[in-house]
Amino acid sequence: MTTAAAAAGTWRLGDLTVNRLGYGAMRLTGNGMMGNSDGPPIDREHAVRLLLTAFEQGVDHVDTASFYFSPLRSANELINRALASWRGPAVTVVSKVGPGRAPSGEWLTMARPDELRGQVEENLRQLGRDCLDVVNLRRNGPDCDSVAEHFGALAELREAGLVRHLGLSNVRAEHVREAREIAPVVCVQNSFGLDWRRAEENGVLGLCAELGIAFVPFFAISGLHREAAAAAERDRRVAAVAAELDATPAQVRLAWTLHRGPHVLAIPGTVNPAHLAENLAAAALRLTDAQLALLDGPTG
C-alpha cells in the first residue's frame, strides 16, 4: 500500500531504509530546543494518536533526544508509548547525544566523552530499547576544533552493541571527514532551509551527496528566518509558487528541501493533526524547473 510519506522516495541510514519524509518530535514536549516555550504540551493520548497517524501514513523515521523534555512531557517516552501499540512496519528512531540537561531543565555544558554512555543509556531506558537505531553526536556549536574524542566514544558503544549506526549534528565538512576515519557516518543533521543555506555554502550538503550520507535538515520550513530582509522577498516567491500548486507555503518549503537531492530527508515536527497531514502531502509535491529557479533566485 502506498502511503503519503512514501511519495518522496527512500534513502538509507546504514542498512536501514527509510522514507525521506519523517517526523521531528521536539515539539511534542511543548518546549523548544533551547528551552523556549512553544506552548503547553499536548495531551499524552493526543500525542500518541498523532504519532500513530504519522506511522500509518508511512513515517518510519522519527528524530528525538532524551533532552527533549518539559516539566510534563518527554518526547522519548511518548514515542515509546506509541511504538508499544504499533503493529506496522518498523520505525527507525534517531536520537542524539552531546548537550547535557539537568532534570530541572537547565542546560549544562557539552558532555565529556566518558559521559556519553550515560546519555545513550538514558535514551535506551526512555525508549524501552536494548539498542538505538541511530545516534547523532550533536555539537553545541559548529566551531569546535575536533569531534574525534567524542565520536570515538560513541564508536566504542557501537562496537558494544548499544548503538547500531552513528551520525553527526551541527557540524562542518571537516568534522564529517574526521568522524569517518573512526566509524561510518550514516547521517548529518544541520540547520538548513530556503532562507538559511549555510550547509550548501560550507560544502556539507555536497559532501554528504558525494559520500552517500543522508543529510537531514532541521528547521527546514522556517529556516530560522535568520535573514529577515531576504525572507520577506523569498516569502512572496514561496506564496506565488504555493498559489500555482494549490499548496501551502510550508509545503513548498518542504518540497524545495526534498528537491535538493535524493539524499536529503526532512523531519518537520508539529502537534497539529491538520499540519501533519499538510506536511505528509508535501512528499508528493513536485516543483518545476521554473518554480525552483524562482525560489532560488537572488534576493535584495
Assigned C-alpha cell, 26 = 521536539
- Name the H helices within 128-227: 148-159, 173-180, 198-201, 204-211
Give me the catalytic one of 68, 69, 218, 256: 68
How far is residue 71's CA from residue 91's CA, in Å, rounded to a whole number? 27
Taking each helix axis from N to C end, the angle separating 228-245 and 249-258, rounded to the nearest 10 degrees, works out to 100
Query: Which residues have CB under 8 Å from 154's CB, separation 6+?
Result: 97, 116, 120, 135, 137, 163, 166, 183
Catalytic-residue membership of 23: no
- CA–CA separation, 53 vs 252, rounded Å? 22
Per DSSP, 51 falls in state H
φ and ψ of 87, to 5 deg: -120, 15
SS3 of residue 169 by DSSP: strand
Helix residue ranges, H only, 61-211 = 75-84, 116-127, 148-159, 173-180, 198-201, 204-211
Name the residues annotated as catalytic: 68
